[in-house]
Amino acid sequence: MNNQEYVLNAYKNALERVSAEIKRKPNQTEEALIFSSILLTILSMGIWEKPSNVMGRACAMSLFRFITFNADESYPSITQKYRQKLCLSQKDLDIQMVKAIEKAHQDPLYDSSTVRTLIMSARAFCFELETHRLVNEYNTYQEFADSVLQIISPVLANNLKNSYPHDPNIVNDAMSLIQKYKEFAIETDDINAMLLVA
Task: Express as a percent the part of the chain with pLDDT over 90.
Answer: 90
**Tens digits of per-residue pLDDT, 2-22?**
899 999 999 999 999 999 999
Phi, psi of 113 (to 5 degrees): -70, 160
Mean pLDDT, range 156-170, rounded to an integer: 97
Mean pLDDT, range 158-163, rounded to an integer: 98
Question: In this predicted structure, what is the pLDDT of residue 103?
Answer: 87
**Tens digits of per-residue pLDDT, 23-38?**
999 999 999 999 999 9
Question: In this predicted structure, what is the pLDDT of residue 86?
Answer: 97
Question: In this predicted structure, what is the pLDDT of residue 1?
Answer: 62
Q: What angle do CA 113, 12, 146 make, to 5 degrees?
A: 95
Give dist(CA 64, CA 110) in Å, integer. Answer: 14
Q: 122 near 141, Cβ under 8 Å?
A: no
| Average pLDDT, rounded, for the chain | 95
Q: What angle do CA 126, 127, 132 make, to 5 degrees?
A: 85
Give dist(CA 26, CA 170) in Å, integer. Answer: 15
**Tens digits of per-residue pLDDT, 51-97?**
999 999 999 999 999 999 999 999 999 999 999 999 999 999 999 99
**pTM of the model as a whole:** 0.95
Q: How far is CA 154 from CA 17, 149, 150, in A?
A: 23, 9, 7
Checking if the pLDDT of 151 tops 70, the result is yes
Question: In this predicted structure, what is the pLDDT of residue 80?
Answer: 96
Question: In this predicted structure, what is the pLDDT of residue 39?
Answer: 98
Question: In this predicted structure, what is the pLDDT of residue 158?
Answer: 98
How many of the other CB atoms lie within 10 Å of CB of 171? Answer: 19
Checking if the pLDDT of 198 tops 80, the result is no
Question: In this predicted structure, what is the pLDDT of residue 10?
Answer: 97
